[in-house]
Amino acid sequence: MLKKEVLDSINDQINAEFYSAYLYLSMSAYFQGKGLAGFANWMMIQFQEEQSHAMKFFNYVYERGGKVTLGPIEEVPTDFDSILAVWEKTLAHEQMVTGRINKMMDIAIEASDHATKSFLQWFVDEQVEEEASVTEILDTLRLIDGQGNGIFMLDREMKQRKFVDTTNAAD
């Protein structure tokens, strides 16, 4: 059984993961509107990943005998200043998520909840990958000054990304 503080943090994170999904869906729509199908695809894959993350937390709560409590999803931005601004917001968002996951880990450690600690390690590792991936794209965008032919090349590259649900791989 999950302790209240652990359960509360997981329920909060489920909501945050759905917010993240909604944010990335909004960013995908922004890129679709700009005619950047590859960038839109990358964000659509992020949308799918965040939904799978939320469901991984959701299922874990029930595996541990808890109850999921869903809250409202905060409104997300729907317009952005530039392509570069979207990726800067994406990195800031992923860093915020990392902080949330780390805080959850602290709560699990404080509660001596070793099962949740083990479960959360997957998310700790995932966040390292998420931040590195976004940083790499952001660095490339900064090199090409967020415009020009480099955008079209990067857009073409991003069209190749496919969704792979890795949330069950660690189970």
Q: Where are the domains of the chain?
A: 4-66+78-158
pLDDT at 141 over 90: yes
Alpha-carbon distance of 83 to 66, in angstroms, equals 41
pLDDT at 161 over 90: no
User: Average pLDDT, whole number, for the chain?
Assistant: 95
pLDDT at 69 over 90: yes
pLDDT at 167 over 90: no
* Buried residues in 4-14 as b, exposed as e (16+ CB within 10 A): eebbebbbbbb
From the list 170, 101, 108, 168, the residue with the least C-alpha distance to 130 is 101
Alpha-carbon distance of 93 to 37, in angstroms, equals 22
Please give the share of the chain, as a percent, with pLDDT higher than 90: 87
> Residue 100's pLDDT band (boundaries 50, 70, 90)?
very high
pLDDT at 121 over 90: yes
pLDDT at 171 over 50: no
Mean pLDDT over 60-82 rounds to 96
Alpha-carbon distance of 19 to 77, in angstroms, equals 11
pLDDT at 169 over 80: no
Q: Alpha carbon of 79 to those of 26, 85, 86, 118, 140: distances in Å?
A: 8, 10, 9, 38, 22
What is the pTM assigned to this prediction? Answer: 0.92
Q: Would you tell me the crossing angle of helices 149-158 and 37-63 to the nearest 10 degrees?
A: 40
Q: Which of 90-99, 108-117, 146-155 has the lowest mean pLDDT?
A: 146-155
Domain 4-66+78-158 class in CATH: mainly alpha
- 34 φ, ψ (degrees, to nearest 5): -90, 0
> Residue 43's pLDDT band (boundaries 50, 70, 90)?
very high
